[in-house]
Chain A
Amino acid sequence: MIASILAVLPAAEGIPNPSIPTSWVLLLAALLFILGIYGFLVRRDLIVVFMSIELMLNAANLTFLAAARERMLDPEGQVYAIFVITVAAVEAAVGLALLIAWFRLRATLDVETAVELEG
């Protein structure tokens, strides 16, 4: 069983696992992205909204890598992916800090209550 897993590992030559069509990967990324948007729009809990954002970022990452793979494992793609991850990390950190400050004020994370900007 380990062998089958190891077999999955990319062989040295050419594009690894050519049998996986890039478009499918893109489709997966799209689906993840859409789930992210859905979570962002629908959920009332701010923390879950944050998670949906993370999900969207990952979907973007996947798209980068899929494209990079298509172009013979172009490092450009990987570099962007790395930057995405870094930014996501910072964003999460600052976001959560804000979240805590918010909670300290409101005792709830419900997005519905924040309507001061109403026109």
Chain B
Amino acid sequence: MSDYLFLIPSLPLLGALLCGILHARGGKARDLAGPVANLAVLGSFLVAVLAFLEIRGHEAEALVYEGFTWIHTGTLLLPFKLHLDALSGFMALIVTGVGLLIHFYSIGYMAHDEGRAKYFAYLNLFVFAMSLLILGANLPLLFVGWEGVGAMSYLLIGFWYDKEGGWPAVAGQKAFIANRVGDMGFLIGMFLLFTNFGTLDVAAMKEAPALSGGVATLICLLLFLGATGKSAQIPLFVWLPDAMAGPTPVSALIHAATMVTAGVYMVCRMSFLFVQSPTAMAVVAVVGAVTALLAGTIALAQRDLKKVLAYSTVSQLGYMFLACGVGAFSAAIFHVGTHAFFKALLFLGAGSVIHGMHEEQDAFRMGGLRRHMPITWITFLVGGLCLAGFPLTSGFFSKDEILWETVSSGGSAAYALWGLGALTALLTAFYTFRLVSLTFLGKERFDPGEVHPHESPWTMTLPLVILALLGLGGGLMGLPAVFVEDGNWIHHLLSPVLAEGRPFASEGGHGLDHAQEGLFMVYSSIIAVVGILAGLILYRNGPERMAGLAKTFRPVHVLLAGKWFVDEIYQVCILTPLAALSRFAGWFDLGIVDGLVNGLGRLFQGAGFLVRRVQDGHIQSYAMWMAGTTTVVLAWLVMQLW
């Protein structure tokens, strides 16, 4: 029972409150926000490291911190319980570690933005929510972090809410609502879990007996819907590219390293459930692979630096879900780790480029920056190599492991999925180095008169260098068996926590041996090198050469540049009908329902008018009424007599 565990979330929370107060005071105090925020995350990182060592050290299965009872109603008992085991420990390290680097980088990046204190408050709140997500022992607590992270990304994306005609605010809202759609699935999944397991505590659910196939599949699919919302997979990935409207460090932290991996973490955390339903695993794998390919193709035709990286993130996330789908949960987490390093590096590099080029984001109007920003150039190159999967880089090892696990998971689908993965790897390498050569190589395509790029200050370049080293060295965490007998350190770390399951293997798949593993490793390195060279050669001196090619394949280019028109499809199929439905509801409510009520009023009024017309002032008409009624009465009497 280690009670220092609650420090990991509470330190950033404290930091956020302090920054909030500093922001409220304004003036000079705002400059203090940066350091305060960094200190908070540093503290949290150290605690995470300490906790991680404690677990690794004497094999303590997991650290648990039991706080106050949060919700206690009838059979539902949800204490505020934090639980750090190998999986959440590793994730905590990444979140707080990369988070720290990004906080440090943000000091320089946001130096002269007058809302910087508010920015750091939000960033700290984000780390708080993310750590809550990772450490939450029961699903509702995880959900608190889950939506908290969504809210923070909403605020951070819309940080510059009055720039570009208010577009960031719209992007933020889009992100929040897309997440909310996913959260609906997560919620219903939790309800089902509670009705079936009677508890929502992850550890308790793990021990509980297995569910029947159908229910398990339904729950897994619902949880996966939540994951697609958060980790931007096929149905709900539209918000991530627009999320680039936020400051670049935000994109680095949220949309590359931490938040988007929350979905993968949740799937791995519930791996014991996913393993129980092969169909759900298949769905996860297929969705992952298809998303990877789709995003990869879109990235080919993007001009905006950050948009390319955003789609590349969606694509890499697709890889992670592919890994989860084929049962290689530890490979997924390994890729989460390495991806966090090099993608954060690429984003921060892009940030430094944009910072230097005074908010210019269009790669077509850059070029030749290697002479102006040497550090950024080298670190960006390293990042690009990792992303492309250049042999021996961390990206290579983690992506290769995923591809290897996919093909070796047996079953007919394995080869198809591997094919998709390999093709995406080729595309990734190609568009990465298309970007690198467009931005850094070739001649300057901007007029040096009014734009003079300069290298970013050391506070920004230091994190780049650190991340570059991590990117290169990251592969050591999971060396494949071919190199070192049991070099896959991360696999051993996570295996006790993650469930083992080869959903496809059961279909008589033939486990491949080491020789094939080496062979496939050669395949992926060839793919990477080919992609890199293609990217370099075709885009060496500017986009003109490829422009011609783009014209010949006009429809393909339009399709890709238009992002497969997914946004437009959603707009037409979902948003407009819903808006029309709501307008109809508005009209219906006022017209019909309200009409009925007012109608009742008018009915009585009308009746009043009818009666009034009888009193028309003529004496003789009154006499007429009298004579008439007496006659009628008389007639009635006569009838009676009869």
Identify the A interface with B (CB < 8 A): 37, 40-42, 111-112, 114-119
Contacts and interface: CB of A to CB of B under 8 A. Distances in A.
Contact of A41 (B614, B615, B627): B627
A117 B622 CA distance: 12
A115 B624 contact: no
Contact of A115 (B613, B616, B623, B627): B616
Contact of A111 (B614, B615, B618, B624): B618
Contact of A112 (B613, B615, B618): B618
B618 to A, nearest CB: 6
A118 B615 CA distance: 6
B620 A111 contact: yes
Contact of A117 (B612, B614, B617, B627): B617
Among B614, B615, B617, max chain A CB count under 10 A is at B617
A40 B623 CA distance: 8
Given A41-B623, A41-B624, 8 more contacts: A40-B623, A42-B620, A111-B619, A115-B617, A117-B617, A118-B617, A119-B613, A119-B616
A119 B620 contact: no
Interface of B: 612-620, 623-624, 627
A118 B623 CA distance: 15
Contact of A119 (B612, B623, B624, B627): B612
A23 to B, nearest CB: 16
B617 A119 contact: yes
A31 B380 CA distance: 121
A115 to B, nearest CB: 3
A114 B620 contact: no
Contacts of B623: 40-41
Contacts of A41: 620, 623-624, 627
B615 A119 contact: yes
Nearest to A119: B615
A117 B624 contact: no
Contact of B616 (A42, A111, A118): A118
A42 B616 CA distance: 16
8 contacts: A37-B627, A41-B627, A112-B618, A114-B617, A119-B612, A119-B613, A119-B614, A119-B617
A63 to B, nearest CB: 15
Contacts of A115: 616-618
**Leading 7 A-B pairs by shortest Cβ distance:** A119-B615, A115-B617, A118-B617, A117-B617, A119-B612, A41-B620, A41-B623
A107 B617 CA distance: 20
Nearest to A117: B617
B622 to A, nearest CB: 9
Contacts of B612: 119
Contacts of A37: 627
A115 B621 CA distance: 11
B619 A114 contact: yes
Nearest to A34: B627
B612 to A, nearest CB: 5
A60 to B, nearest CB: 15
Contacts of A117: 615, 617
A52 B614 CA distance: 25
A2 B614 CA distance: 57
Nearest to A42: B620
A44 to B, nearest CB: 9
Contacts of A116: 617
A14 B612 CA distance: 58
Nearest to B615: A119
Contacts of B619: 111, 114
A54 B215 CA distance: 99
B2 to A, nearest CB: 89
A41 B623 CA distance: 7
Contacts of B616: 115, 118-119
B278 to A, nearest CB: 84
A111 B623 CA distance: 13
Give the most central of B615, B619, B627: most A CB within 10 Å.
Answer: B619
A67 B617 CA distance: 39
B619 to A, nearest CB: 6
A3 to B, nearest CB: 44
A71 to B, nearest CB: 22
Contacts of B624: 41
A17 to B, nearest CB: 29
A114 B616 CA distance: 11
Nearest to B613: A119
